[in-house]
Amino acid sequence: MPDYIYLIHPLRHEFFESPTPQEEAVMDQHFAYLKKATSEGVVLLAGPCLDETFGVVVFIAESDESARAFMLNDPSVKNNVMMAELHPMRISLMKGC
């Protein structure tokens, strides 16, 4: 199965400094969504950049369409807290492989 990466960026510039209660709730759902997908072996790596500019999700999907669906179902994207961009990728090196 192909590998993919999606990058997420907050739609609201002040998101990291002052998230609203709704945004915090959505980000809790986002974390749960990715945690479940990680336990299912779909997500290989996920997390925010420490400079608070974007987050990354590296995952496996069967097709471009299923990869796009997975990204669009991320609660942070679905609820318009984050915008996302999807890219196919090939993992060339990974610890433990």
Q: Tell me the residue length of the chain.
A: 97
pLDDT for residue 49:
93
Torsions phi, psi for 35 (to 5 deg): -65, -45
What gap in Å lies between CA 53 and CA 37, rounded to an integer?
23
What gap in Å lies between CA 70 and CA 89, rounded to an integer?
15
Look at residue 11 and tell me whether its pLDDT is greater than 70.
yes
Question: What confidence tens digit (pLDDT) does each residue in 33-65 have?
Answer: 999 999 999 999 999 999 989 999 999 999 999
Question: What confidence tens digit (pLDDT) does each residue in 76-86 have?
Answer: 999 999 999 99
- Could you confirm whether domain 3-89 is CATH 3.30.70.1060? yes
Half-sphere exposure of 55 (CA within 13 A, CB side): 22
Structure tokens at 60: 């496996």
Domain boundaries, the chain: 3-89
81 in Cβ contact with 27 (< 8 Å): yes
